[in-house]
Amino acid sequence: MRRRVPRSVVVLATGVYLFLHAPVVALIVFSFNDSKFAATWTGFTLEWYRRLLVRDDVIAGLGRSLAVGLVATVVASALGTLLALAVHRHRFRGKRQVEGLLYLPLVTPEIIMGISLLTMLVAIGFPLGVWSVTVAHITFCISFVTVVVGARLRGMDRHLEEAAMMLGADEWEAFWKVTVPMLAPGIFAGALLAFTMSFDDYVITSFVSGSGSATLPVVVYGMVRRSIEPSINAISTIIVVGTSALIWLADRTMRGRPG
């Protein structure tokens, strides 16, 4: 029998959610405002969304964000999955320290990550541009994938892999035909989360990007610095809706039970 939630808890939770999401709701609503001034509602329009299609800087920034996000996601998913397998399946000296270091990029302030990555790239002579942004995104996305895949690994039944090898499969066949399919929901969820984090990142990208390599968040920030216009609300709404959908999909994927 389910216990009834006290009314005070419901009211408090509702108030907190309203406080957190009211600015986002206002942003979405005023992205359809016919007025150039965000504080005054004058009517419904899709004009600001249409204007985004003719802005070369927005289209170019979107293309770079998608390209960087896809490359970073593929590489981080592969490396993060292998790292999760190594940490959770093997014992070695310094394992606890390695596990602790996995969470370092997750808790380190982005400005510190940006400065440290910029220092490293400059020290090794790596040119700043789209590829430096991609390398930086791979660096912090690996931890997200490793943590998500690791959570999936903890719920897996290793007896299925052992049974496959007892039936004649070697370790490589067992890995591809048993382990990878069982890990697929975790890998997919980690990849979605990695792409979301890469696509949304501004702080780290602003440090390691060079001339002509601005991603969409950097372009949006530049638009805000020049002037506040409703098209900024429109593009922000698209980003919010898109990333929210990816996070929801990743969450639904991770709810599936390991095979």
Residues 6+ apart with CB under 8 A from 141: 72, 73, 76, 80, 194, 197, 198
User: Which of 207, 216, 70, 204 minimizes the C-alpha distance to 139?
Assistant: 204
Give the C-alpha separation, 207 to 218, whole Å.
10
Helix, strand, coil percent values for the chain (each to nearest 5) = 75, 0, 25
Provide the residue-wise pLDDT of the chain in tens; the chain has 259 residues. Answer: 566 777 888 888 888 988 888 888 888 888 888 877 666 777 888 888 888 888 888 889 889 999 999 999 999 999 999 999 888 877 777 777 877 788 888 888 889 999 999 999 999 999 999 999 999 999 999 999 999 888 888 877 666 776 777 777 777 777 777 778 888 888 888 898 899 899 989 999 999 988 888 898 888 888 877 766 778 888 888 888 888 888 788 777 766 544 4
